[in-house]
Structure 1
Amino acid sequence: METSNYKPTKFAVIGAGPVGATVAAFLAKGGYDVTLCDVIPSLLEPALDRGIILEGVDNLQAKVTRVTTSVDDLVNDPPDVIVVTVKATALPLIASALEGFVAEGRYVISWQNGIDTELVLAEHLGRKNVMRGVVNYGCVPVGPCHIRLAFHHRPHFIQELDPQSRDAAVGICNVFTACGLDTGHTDKITDMVWRKSVMNSCMNAICAVTRKTMIEITIDPMLSDLVDALIKEGVAVARANEFSLGSDFYPYCINYLKSAGNHKPSMLQDLEAGRRTEIDFINGKIIEYGAQAGMPTPYNNMIRGLVKALESK
């Protein structure tokens, strides 16, 4: 483990959904001061009384230090690090609310799905204060602050946007790792984001449209052909924009998806709950970068249109 002079002790997690509650639980179990923030009070209540419960591939229970329904409360009593886990669609509002938080030695991490989420934060907060994470666990809500972890493929990764913040990024990785949320520092976060997003662009969106789990998609010949076409289109766009996915990325995707379990990915969970999805930050970004490279993206255009049509209901 690389050493660092930055040793944060006080954290806030924005978003009490499955991804955020999982981060908060590990940090709280590690003995850190944790504030969990969400606009829905019922999601927060168990985090103080009973504590957050994780079950599945990881099992633990931990109480956070405090909860709040207002991001403004974080500005009044600022933590060292804020971990943003809300859906990417909420980022402009969250970023604007955090502008008063920015100061020397304080950092905000985009711990989210999607491409360029960290850039939305950096527009408001500056690159020096923003970091990007790549998250490698899948989780579903059992109830408020009660999460089932379907898989946890350690490690996760974090990178600073500004080289001046490298020591802080390493220090945060060390804290996460010490808590059991093994996290490594990287200088290739954008490539990692694209690797994950290309995989999300096929399986996540098709599950959302068909209401099928990941394993049900992989055993359906027609749907698995569509997954294959979306992977190849995403790979072509990434390489046209000079993102490095690695020479083995396509077979890696196929083998990874073959091991998919009976799991509903986040985009399907969002549609079932009547929430907006992150389609614009996943397939929408592939379309955007395709246009930038002069490359048509018919499969991504099609699947984004279907998801947006279901969102409107």
Structure 2
Amino acid sequence: MRIAVIGAGALGGLFATLLEGAGHDVTVTARGAALSAIRADGIRLTGGFGDSHAHPRALERLTETPELALVCTKAQDAERAITDNAELLNGCPVIVVQNGLDGVRTAERILPNSDCFGLLVIVAANYTEPGHVTVTTVAPSYLGRGTGAVDGTTLRWQAILGPALHTRSLDNFVGAQWTKLVVNMLNALPAITGLSVQDVVGSAPLRRVLTASMRETVQSAVKRGVRFGSLQKLSNRRLRLFSHLPLWAGQVLPLRMRARMGGVPNLGSTLQSLNRGQRTEIDYLNGAVVREAALAGLPAPINALLTALVHEVEASGTHLTPAQVLARFAAL
């Protein structure tokens, strides 16, 4: 099958390599150093899925319509990337591989003739350098759309992609996006401090802040009438219970997440973006919580400050110490 992968960062590089290894004809779009590196030496994959070396066709923009497209850019780059390729993608099935809540809706708006789906990815992958991806945590990915039961078209694509991408189909995909957003609260503090996710969770004071950001996320979703989808052993019932726990008890949630990561340092996608000198997707993670909370008539001061601190680090290029971070939160 002719498959286009839009964006060749950590997840785009991972999926392009796995798809080519499964026998698909893969084209990737990339820019700058990534485009040059892939054209010169392909994509090297190491870590949890084994070592492999793919040589997909690499372009700045698509030149022909694929049979399937995966949009693997960061959330803040999705609209531009889809628009740049819209003439060839409109009418093609599209799977959006992104954090946050807006990716599928963005694709549906720009590509009204396309069947659009979302893919939730739990795999932890580091974009080591252009053309090189290292997988630190292996996990399945989850395909779906809407708030209802899985439909026949979703099952068809799951059957095609499943062997290569370890894909499962998922009911209540929108609710699962919210569940993944809770998980993605792990990203902000590593970006601010430069510490790994494991080290952040291992610090009791930082873990308290992290737990508070997760609780705000869940409380905002509940107020917005969201029914959480089941993902990573998190369910609607468990997350609603978590939203009522005191912070000292709620910290079991990030501690369990850390236990599933293993010992290889997980930097989180937001810190990886900062390390590459790129804009982060924080406005689509913690920033999304702030917007959704406002729509629900709730404050979200923890997530608002986390968003602001990531932007400060983006602007200054300097991480904050844990003590500096905690001093800022003490002012709340």
* TM-score, normalised relative to structure 2: 0.82
Alignment partners' CA distance in 2, 1:146 and 1:59? 13
Q: 1:49 to 1:168 in 2, by over 3 A?
A: farther
Q: Any idea what SS the aligned residue of 2:187 has?
A: helix
Runs of at least 5 residues in structure 2 that lack an aligned partner in the other structure: 229-235, 243-251, 317-332
- Aligned residue number for residue 256 of structure 1: 257
Range with bigger deviation, 54-63 or 261-270: 54-63
Percent identity over the alignment is 24
Q: 1:60 to 1:44 in 2, by over 3 A?
A: farther
Q: After superposition, what is the alpha-carbon deviation per residue over 1:230-280, rounded to whole angstroms, capped at 9, x for unaligned?
A: 111111111111222312234555411344442111101111221111011
Runs of at least 5 residues in structure 1 that lack an aligned partner in the other structure: 1-8
Q: 1:129 to 1:142 in 2, by over 3 A?
A: same
Shift, 1:287, TM fit: 0.7
Range with bigger deviation, 115-124 or 252-261: 252-261
Listed as ranges, the matches of 1:222-233 within 5 Å are: 222-233=205-216
- Aligned residue number for residue 200 of structure 1: 184
Asked if 2 retains the 8 angstrom alpha-carbon contact of 1:11 and 1:32, the reply is yes
- The reply to whether residue 268 of structure 1 matches residue 247 of structure 2 is no
Asked if 2 retains the 8 angstrom alpha-carbon contact of 1:18 and 1:147, the reply is yes
Alignment partners' CA distance in 2, 1:86 and 1:198? 20
Shift, 1:98, TM fit: 2.8
Listed as ranges, the matches of 1:61-80 within 5 Å are: 61-69=52-60, 71=61, 74=62, 76-80=63-67
Asked if 2 retains the 8 angstrom alpha-carbon contact of 1:267 and 1:277, the reply is yes
Alignment partners' CA distance in 2, 1:193 and 1:218? 22
Listed as ranges, the matches of 1:236-247 within 5 Å are: 236-245=219-228, 246-247=236-237
- Aligned residue number for residue 15 of structure 1: 7
- The reply to whether residue 114 of structure 1 matches residue 96 of structure 2 is no
Asked if 2 retains the 8 angstrom alpha-carbon contact of 1:209 and 1:306, the reply is yes
- Aligned residue number for residue 3 of structure 1: none
Alignment partners' CA distance in 2, 1:227 and 1:145? 32
Alignment partners' CA distance in 2, 1:17 and 1:171? 26
Asked if 2 retains the 8 angstrom alpha-carbon contact of 1:173 and 1:184, the reply is yes
Alignment partners' CA distance in 2, 1:230 and 1:208? 15
- Aligned residue number for residue 326 of structure 2: none
Q: Any idea what SS the aligned residue of 1:312 has?
A: helix
Listed as ranges, the matches of 1:1-313 within 5 Å are: 9-40=1-32, 42-47=33-38, 50-69=41-60, 71=61, 74=62, 76-104=63-91, 106-126=92-112, 128-154=114-140, 156-160=141-145, 166-179=151-164, 181-201=165-185, 203-245=186-228, 246-249=236-239, 250=242, 252-260=253-261, 261=263, 262-313=265-316
Alignment partners' CA distance in 1, 2:114 and 2:34? 32
Alignment partners' CA distance in 2, 1:46 and 1:267? 22
Q: 1:46 to 1:307 in 2, by over 3 A?
A: closer
Q: Any idea what SS the aligned residue of 1:248 has?
A: helix
Q: Counterpart amino acid of 2:71?
A: V
Q: 1:23 to 1:113 in 2, by over 3 A?
A: same
Q: After superposition, what is the alpha-carbon deviation per residue over 1:58-94, rounded to whole angstroms, capped at 9, x for unaligned?
A: 113142341112x2xx2x3110111111111112212
Q: Any idea what SS the aligned residue of 2:70 has?
A: strand
Give the alignment's Cα RMSD to 1 decimal: 2.2
* TM-score, normalised relative to structure 1: 0.87
